[in-house]
Amino acid sequence: MSRRPYMRQVERSWWLHRPRYVAYMIRELTSLFVGLYCALLAVGLIRLSQGAAAWDGFVTALASPPGVIFQSICLVFAVYHSVTWFALTPKAMPLMIGGQPVPGMAIIGAHYAAWAVVSIVVLIAAGI
Amino acid sequence: MSETITLEVLRYLPETDSEPHFQRYTVPYKDEWVVLDALNHIKDHLDATLSYRWSCHMAVCGSCGMMIDGEPKLSCHAFLRDYRGGVIRVEPLDHFPIERDLVIVMDSFMNKLSSVKPYLIPREEKPLSAGEYLQTPAELRVFDQYTQCINCLLCYAACPQVGLTEDFVGPAALALAHRYNLDSRDGGKAERAEVVASNEGIWECTFVGACSQVCPKQVDPAAAIQQTKLSSSVDWLKDMLTPGAHK
């Protein structure tokens, strides 16, 4: 009897076949916008180093309609990225206390609490 | 006439076929039947040439994994009642070569599995006269979940990285490596790291998470891999700070 194994190829559209793969690809896409926003912050630092006029121009550009739209899009993707990441933390960082596993919701809740604390500290530091 | 249900089964006979094709079979519908029962009916009454693997019929042996309506499932665990009113598409597991019909070639998995040394490598060899390597229930709980793997390969069929990157060690093998790394009796972590912490090991995983969603035994390989990434990174950092001290 002859052996002739047949290998089926993965289609380019594999990620469209199941909702879980679409959700994964959206999550991968969020990295692009998180990266773009990081680049925007880097540009802000460069403009700050170039003096008051350069900085004022940067702030004006941020407040312009294209600037607001860009930041809003980045915010949506950053929130999607953060929420899905927090949901995954119990898998990556399970905790055992007293020989018993800590419930996943407690680990996720701790991340949201830390997020809130850091946000408040940043807002206070920014004088808002 | 009693109710029937139709299965559309991927057939591949290497002696005659240049590529796989679908063949339809209509079988009796029974509430308590699973897809495996339907395949057994086909084999016994309709077409004895159909090939597929199975053994226990109770989600223990891990032999009967197939794509059922595009989802990796144990065919002994997929009830016809959940597919009532439609045609059930049955295919061999994705990402593996097809040997014949629903039978896949799993040699690549066996090689990957053995490459991560999925067995106890004791910290210190003891003579038999010294007795067992003892462990407390709390120490067992740390890795117990990862011992449930039945090597059914549903996770390999669900993982896009397995399909796209031939050399990726894959979810089940990495979960088993993690199981032994977590074992209080084991000292083989550094030996396993050569494969586990390589590019083809944990770092090929992009945390799609599908492996854990399809696992019929709640092993959660995605969790095992992310935990291994974390511990490998810590080991790498320790080695950078104090070279050679952690071998």
Q: What pLDDT is attached to residue A97?
A: 85
B105, B142, B213: residue with CB nearest A20: B213
Judge whether B247 lies within some domain: no
Rounded to the nearest angstrom, the minimum Cα separation between B3 and chain A is 30
Of the three residues B104, B125, B147, the one that is the final residue of a domain is B104
Taking the Cβ of residue B28 and every Cβ of chain A, the question of whether any pair is shorter than 8 Å is answered with no
Of the three residues B104, B130, B153, the one that is the final residue of a domain is B104
pLDDT band at B159, cuts 50/70/90?
very high
Rounded to the nearest angstrom, the minimum Cα separation between A36 and chain B is 21
> CA angle, corner B61, sides to B58 and B62, nearest 5?
100
Of the three residues B73, B104, B135, the one that is the final residue of a domain is B104
CATH number, position B60: 3.10.20.30
Per-residue pLDDT of A29-61, as tens digits, reads 999 999 999 999 999 999 999 999 999 999 999
- The CATH number for A16-77, chosen from 3.20.20.220, 3.40.605.10, 1.20.1300.10, 2.40.160.20, is 1.20.1300.10
B139 and B172, same domain (yes or no): yes
Domain count, chain B: 2
* Domain membership of residue B42 as a residue range: 4-104
- Residues present in chain B in total: 247
Phi-psi domain of A92 (left: phi exceeds 0; alpha: psi -120 through 50; beta: other): alpha
Per-residue pLDDT of B12-53, as tens digits, reads 999 999 999 999 999 999 999 999 999 999 999 999 999 999
CATH number, position B124: 1.10.1060.10
Q: Where are the domains of chain A?
A: 16-77, 93-128
Mean pLDDT taken over chain A: 93
Rounded to the nearest angstrom, the minimum Cα separation between A55 and chain B is 38
Chain B CB contacts of A17 under 8 Å are 70
Q: Do B98 and A8 touch (CB under 8 A)?
A: yes
Is the pLDDT at B154 greater than 60, yes or no?
yes
Judge whether B206 lies within some domain: yes
Judge whether B219 lies within some domain: yes
Query: Nearest-CA neighbor of B221 among B200, B199, B197, B202?
Result: B202
B219 and B135, same domain (yes or no): yes
B142 and B184, same domain (yes or no): yes
Rounded to the nearest angstrom, the minimum Cα separation between B18 and chain A is 9
Query: Nearest-CA neighbor of A6 among B8, B156, B91, B62?
Result: B91
* Identity at A111, one-letter amino acid code: H
Is the pLDDT at A1 greater than 70, yes or no?
no
User: Considering only residues 74 to 93 of chain B, which have any Cβ-Cβ distance to chain A shorter than 8 Å?
Assistant: none
Interface test with B, best of A88, A91, A107, A108 (most B CBs within 10 A): A91
Count contacts between A and B (CB, < 8 Å). Answer: 72
B87 and B125, same domain (yes or no): no
Per-residue pLDDT of B107-147, as tens digits, reads 999 999 999 999 999 988 889 999 999 999 989 999 999 99
pLDDT band at B247, cuts 50/70/90?
low
Query: Nearest-CA neighbor of B171 among B205, B214, B142?
Result: B205
As a whole number, mean pLDDT of residues B202-225 equals: 96
Q: Do A24 and B209 touch (CB under 8 A)?
A: yes
User: Considering only residues 118 to 177 of chain B, which have any Cβ-Cβ distance to chain A shorter than 8 Å?
Assistant: 138, 141-142, 160, 163-164
Judge whether B237 lies within some domain: yes
